[in-house]
Chain A
Amino acid sequence: DSGVTQTPKHLITATGQRVTLRCSPRSGDLSVYWYQQSLDQGLQFLIQYYNGEERAKGNILERFSAQQFPDLHSELNLSSLELGDSALYFCASSPRALNSPLHFGNGTRLTVT
């Protein structure tokens, strides 16, 4: 158990809809990362927060947004969903912003129909 909790585990929704994925980082970790993993693909970095502030942005679509709250949990919002958004979405956390291992949750599997 990595200590990172993601909810829900599975999500099935229709095109055009909006969903929110939630992540609770490991106790004491200040940095939260969001990744997307499509079937049999590698990890695509979306966005990173450190202690409530956005620190780095990757290949995140404008339809997607995220935030980290004062209690350090984070939410990833996906809107105007398309079939191609179906993927595993992982959250990871680390103590620092740089040069420390990321610890991943078990992901949210999003299916857009």
Chain B
Amino acid sequence: GESVGLHLPTLSVQEGDNSIINCAYSNSASDYFIWYKQESGKGPQFIIDIRSNMDKRQGQRVTVLLNKTVKHLSLQIAATQPGDSAVYFCAENIGNYQLIWGAGTKLIIKP
């Protein structure tokens, strides 16, 4: 069935390095994508979104890249900090009022 999946369940990154979290989606009709961050014991927190008419969008220390040709979404975090430790979820909107969520990638920051 249609799904959004993540390549790596856990990602360890040295503090100060850049992090790249990847996400594959299967529905070429998806027109809206979102990245969320979930810290332990808290609800998911919106990070950044991108519409299908864009390839790249930047926020504060974060960049989302969308490659529609290979149906791939990535989240880049610049100069990773300890506070970035969390589980990151991608989600896609396939146009039926529902978001399809990925399984999540746990980002671990090494000191």
Contacts and interface: CB of A to CB of B under 8 A. Distances in A.
Interface of A: 2, 4, 42-43, 45, 48, 50, 55-56, 58, 90, 92, 97-99, 101-107
Interface residues of B, number: 23
Interface stretch (B16-24, B43-51, B62-70, B71-79): B43-51
B95 interface: yes
Contacts, number: 53
Contacts of B34: 101-102
B35 to A, nearest CB: 10
14 contacts: A45-B99, A48-B98, A56-B96, A56-B97, A56-B98, A90-B44, A98-B32, A98-B95, A101-B49, A102-B46, A102-B99, A104-B45, A106-B41, A107-B42
Contacts of A58: 98
**Main DSSP-derived SS at the A contact region:** loop
B103 interface: yes
A42 B103 contact: yes
A99 B45 CA distance: 16
B25 to A, nearest CB: 14
A106 B44 CA distance: 8
A107 B43 contact: yes
